[in-house]
Chains A and B, each alone.
Chain A
């Protein structure tokens, strides 16, 4: 249980990486952009992969009527996410410490993991919803109004994960260092739960078996 608790203390601390590294990265390459434009999405705002990329992406997007990329104060998420992550880190570490002191059971470890996963999925859902809005809610006076072969207006939602071809751009959207740190941290808490479960007294194990057989 001590080992499991130490892992449970360390795991949530990995989430602190989200304050320093981007959660997600979207790169836009095109023939005239051999060095692709890119945006790094942090929990508290969007930054260019290179200094002027945001301005240049906005400059290109204005042709097809996309809005400018949001500044931190323009989206509530960028204010809320850092607080939520902070609370989750504090909560996780607290659970680990209490586990270490033998005050609470390893099951709390799983509880934290499940809560974090739910929040993560909600975050992804929100992110995707924003991208749908950003890519489809276009200026009716856009300079270029393009249609799909079936006649519907073309939309420009970037992929949530992976690669897509959008007009002359190759768009690649992938988790970045912050997301990987979060992933590792969450895996550690899952491992903490697993070790805690394996090392738990027999009664607990039989309890689990009993539940399983019912």
Chain B
């Protein structure tokens, strides 16, 4: 019925705006002047480039996809938490350690919330961070190479969902647990959850020069579900806000049992105070185990280190650092406006938005106006911290982003719409339907102090009839709205890969000039690199054979290898000698129990082959690199295990 009424109203609007009456489509007919104007807005002519990058999380793909706005064109998929045969990420010997965890090799995760590094609350485009929800991890991706450089696992955490959000000078990337769990993990009855489980909020410091991550401390909060979070900014810089649900601490049939309290909380955490406390020796060292995986751009290799200890902080030991702000109806999104004054909690089972005031919160804390406590953490009075309520008329508010004109945009999952409202007056200014059941939305810089309020992208959970059907499983739809005027205008609709939860956008001019074109061969510090073809060689060490191989258009050096035996472990260490933009070479060997490799100019990657059959087996370049790509191949002669064929390697003989 809802859709029908939009159809009618859109028809009436078109009839009013245009004298044309041939409009058969409620979403703007293809013949109308309005639609052709919108087409111009999203049309990026061949050879021209987009105005913004949009980094969308892949959800269950485990990766990040990079799109252009306004065109909606897909530029790249950046492998983060998932093995990616396209490039060999997670398959090559160099990148396997990236996916190591305290549970062993985990080849996948559920990637949710990307966030771009900031300086003074403004996007600086150095790195993008993203969380793995399932096996709790945080990744850091370089925005000059667009490669994952670091992954840190989070102990004591489960369902790493209120993550990965950046403080305004990139001091910390913060990650909260959605599922509370026993800390430390132990064998105990599930129904003893209440009062015994803990919710860990992890504060991971970021080295300003290298971006290197370090799990500084974990706050052991009551056993609620910590759903989403955002940092304070400007005046509220130094605080972090987390929405909670399941303050009932139910452990079964959660959809009912954790929806009973009329209000849950937003947890306000003064992280500066706690960081200071930890710096001065506060907190408890706890034995644990988590992996810290670092990829080095110069050795082109990752190393995985297992850490054994974490500092935990009991929030009741740091008085004045943590408070609960009552917030109605299982709040989901937790968003802070560009000024840092307003903290918006979207009660997902409600029709209204609750906006808390940072100034009022500070006044209430100073006046010690508490309304009891939960596990020793003071609860502020709802009325004392409330700045206002947006009576939206929608249903199921989830997430809010901001423009640079004092407006906020909130998604409504149940009523499938984006609602624009005014900060301070809480007046609803406009609403537009989404298709369908929108989750997050994104305005470039829309969760920073400096939003670029030109477009909003709505990321939907349900696609149905938006595109040509592709069987039961379809990509998720996204809608692009022009928000430069008073009213939002739906201008484009495009499918997105995986399930984008959140996204982060940034003006292209901040990133494009820094994007690397090649890796310098003379910077290559890979231990098995060959920097000139005359260094190419094959070395046997018992049953292990190391092939030091180089590639350039259009041959491998060497390309004929003999003396390999069944049962050997053959490592092909391949260095791409090109120093030209966009000239990768690939490598694939017949019958290999792994993926191909795609090796960028100046890079070295290693592929393991364990030959099982006697014969002469070809390998080839998988990337159409040149006019003679089809000639870019070689042979390996595999002899029986007891053979005495000498080890030889040649090119052009």
Distance between B577 CB and nearest chain A CB, rounded to angstroms: 9
Binds B, one of A51-59, A125-133, A173-181: A51-59
Chain B's nearest CB lies how many Å from the CB of A168?
A: 10
- Partner of A55 from B579, B581, B627 at Cβ < 8 Å: B579
For residue B518, CB closer than 8 A to chain A, the reply is yes
Q: How far is the CA of A95 from the CA of B475 in the complex (A)?
A: 80
Q: A143's contact among B552, B580, B628, by CB below 8 Å, is which?
A: B628
Which size class do A's interface residues fall under? under 10
C-alpha gap A52/B581 in the complex (Å): 10
Instruction: Please give, as numbers and ranges, the residues of chain A lying within 8 Å of B237 by CB-CB distance.
Output: none
Bound complex: CA A51 to CA B602 (Å)? 14
Contacts of A35 in B (CB 8 A): 581
Which residues of B534-575 have CB atoms within 8 Å of chain A's CB atoms?
A: 552-553
Complex CA–CA separation, A144 to B626 (angstroms): 13
A143 and B631 alpha carbons, distance in the complex (Å): 11
Segment 593-637 of B: residues with Cβ below 8 Å from A: 627-628
Cβ-based interface call for A20 (8 A):
no
- Contacts A59-B552, A59-B553 known; A52 to B580 CB distance under 8 Å? yes
Question: Quick check: is A19 within 8 A (CB to CB) of the other chain?
Answer: no
Specify the chain B residue showing the minimal Cβ separation from A34. Answer: B47
Contacts known (A59-B580, A63-B627, A143-B628); A52 close to B518, Cβ less than 8 A = yes
Q: In whole angstroms, how far apart are the Cα atoms of A51 and B627 in the complex? A: 24
- In the assembled complex, how far is the CB of residue B73 from the closest CB belonging to chain A, in whole angstroms? 18
Complex interface bits, A53-71 against B, C-beta within 8 A gives 1, otherwise 0: 0011001000100000000
A132 and B552 CA atoms in complex are apart in Å by 28
- Which residues of B in the span 381-432 have a Cβ within 8 Å of any Cβ on A? none
Q: Which chain A residues lie closer than 8 Å to B627 at the CB level?
A: 63, 144
CB neighbours of B552 from chain A (8 A): 59
A55 to B627 alpha-carbon distance, docked (Å): 18
Residues of chain A within 8 A (CB-CB) of B518 are 52
**Chain A min CB distance to B519 (Å):** 12
- The digit string for A133-161, where 1 denotes a CB below 8 A from any CB of B, is 00000000001100000000000000000
Closest Cβ–Cβ distance, residue A180 to chain B (whole Å):
30
Which of B518, B580, B581, B627 counts the most chain A CB atoms within 10 A? B580
Closest Cβ–Cβ distance, residue A140 to chain B (whole Å)? 16
Measured CB to CB, the nearest residue on chain B to A51 is: B579
Instruction: Give the CA-CA distance A56 to B553 in the complex, in Å.
Output: 10
CA distance A176 to B588 in the complex (A): 46
Q: Which residues of B contact A51 (CB under 8 A)?
A: 579
With a cutoff of 8 Å between Cβ atoms, the chain A residues found around residue B553 in the complex are: 59
Complex Cα gap A63–B578 (Å)? 15
* Interfacial chain B residues near A55, Cβ < 8 Å: 579-580
Most buried by B among A35, A51, A52, A55: A52
How many whole Å from A191's CB to the nearest CB in chain B? 44
Residue of B nearest to A62 (CB): B553
Using A59-B552, A59-B553 as known contacts, say yes or no to A52 and B628 having CB atoms under 8 A apart.
Answer: no
**Bound complex: CA A63 to CA B553 (Å):** 10
- By the criterion CB–CB under 8 Å, are A56 and B580 in contact? yes
Which of chain B's residues have a CB closer than 8 A to the CB of A52? 518, 579-580
Give CA–CA (A157, B100) in the complex, Å.
56
Taking a contact as CB atoms under 8 Å apart, the answer to whether A56 and B628 are in contact is no
Contacts of B579 in A (CB 8 A): 51-52, 55-56
> Which residues of B lie under 8 Å from residue A56 when comparing CB positions?
579-580
User: Please, which residues of chain B bring their CB within 8 A of the CB of A144?
Assistant: 627
Cα–Cα, bound, A59→B625 (Å): 12
Q: How does the 8 Å CB contact mask read for A26-56 relative to B, with 1 for contact and 0 for none? A: 0000000001000000000000000110011
Residues of A within 8 A of B628 (CB): 63, 143
In the complex the two chains form, what is the Cα distance from A144 to B627 in whole Å? 10
Residues on A with beta carbons closer than 8 Å to the beta carbon of B578:
59
| CA of A59 to CA of B576, assembled, Å | 13
Q: How far is the CB of B355 from chain A (nearest CB, A)?
A: 50
Q: B523 to chain A: closest CB distance in Å? A: 12
Contacts of A59 in B (CB 8 A): 552-553, 578, 580
* CA–CA, A35 and B580, complex, Å: 11
Q: Shortest distance in angstroms between A56's beta carbon and chain B's nearest beta carbon? A: 5
Residue of B at shortest CB range from A63? B627
The docked-state distance in angstroms from the alpha carbon of A52 to that of B583 is: 13
A56: nearest chain-B partner, CB-CB: B580
Give residues of chain B (518-534) contacting chain A, Cβ–Cβ below 8 Å.
518
Q: How far is the CB of A194 from chain B (nearest CB, A)?
A: 49
Contact partners of A63 in chain B: CB under 8 A: 627-628
Nearest CB in chain A to that of B602: its residue: A52
> In the docked arrangement, what's the CA distance between A44 and B64, Å?
49
CB nearest to B579 among chain A residues: A52
* A39: min CB distance to chain B, Å: 15
> Which residues of the partner chain A approach B581 to less than 8 Å between Cβ atoms?
35
Bound Cα distance A56, B580 (Å): 7
Q: Can you sample 17 A-B contacts with CB below 8 Å?
A: A35-B581, A51-B579, A52-B518, A52-B579, A52-B580, A55-B579, A55-B580, A56-B579, A56-B580, A59-B552, A59-B553, A59-B578, A59-B580, A63-B627, A63-B628, A143-B628, A144-B627
In addition to A35-B581, A56-B580, 13 A-B residue pairs with Cβ atoms within 8 Å of each other are A51-B579, A52-B518, A52-B579, A52-B580, A55-B579, A55-B580, A56-B579, A59-B552, A59-B553, A59-B578, A63-B628, A143-B628, A144-B627
Binding site for A on B (CB under 8 A): 518, 552-553, 578-581, 627-628
In the A-B complex, the 4 residue pairs with the closest CB atoms: A52-B579, A56-B580, A55-B579, A59-B553
